[in-house]
Amino acid sequence: MLSELRLGSFSSISRAPMAGYWTSFLVYYLRVLVLTEAATKASNAPAFRHWEENSPTVNIPNHFRGSVSPLRRSVEEKRFNSAVTRGAIFPPSTASFCRAAGFICVEDVNITPYNSEPVGTLNAVPLARGSPGRTMGIKTINDFQFDFFLEENLAKGATMNLAENLHDPIPKRSFLPKAVADTLTPLTTSNLPKLRHTFNIGENTKMATIMGTAAYLCENPPLPGEERACPASVEDMAEFVSSQLGRNATMLKTRGAPGNAPAQKKPVIVKDFTKHSVEEGKKIVVCHNLMFPSQLYYCHHVTGTKLVEASLAADDGYIIHGVAVCHLNTTMWASEHPAFAALNIPRGAEACHWTSQNDLIWVPVQQ
Per-residue pLDDT of the chain (367 residues; tens, 9 = 90+): 333 333 333 333 334 444 443 334 333 333 433 333 333 444 455 666 666 666 666 666 666 777 878 877 677 777 777 777 777 766 555 777 888 889 998 888 888 666 555 544 333 234 444 445 666 566 677 767 778 999 999 999 999 988 888 888 899 999 998 888 898 889 999 999 989 988 889 888 999 999 999 999 999 888 777 899 999 998 899 889 989 988 888 889 999 887 777 766 778 999 999 999 888 788 899 999 999 999 999 999 988 899 999 999 988 788 999 999 999 999 888 888 889 999 999 999 999 999 998 999 999 887 6
Q: What gap in Å lies between CA 342 and CA 365, rounded to an integer?
A: 33
Residues 298, 299, 303, 304, CA torsion sign = positive
Q: For the beta carbon of residue 71, count every other beta carbon within 10 angstroms.
A: 24
Are 360 and 286 in contact by the 8 Å Cβ rule? The answer is yes
The pairing of strands 134-135 and 148-149 is unpaired
Q: What gap in Å lies between CA 86 and CA 83, rounded to an integer?
A: 5
Name which of 5, 10, 324, 14 is nearest 148 in CA terms.
324
pLDDT, residue 44, reads 54
pLDDT, residue 220, reads 87
Q: What gap in Å lies between CA 188 and CA 6, rounded to an integer?
A: 79
Produce one character per residue of 12-32: b if its CB has 16 or more CB atoms within 10 Å, e if not. eeeeeeeeeeeeeeeeeeeee
pLDDT, residue 353, reads 94
Name which of 215, 218, 217 is nearest 229 in CA terms.
218
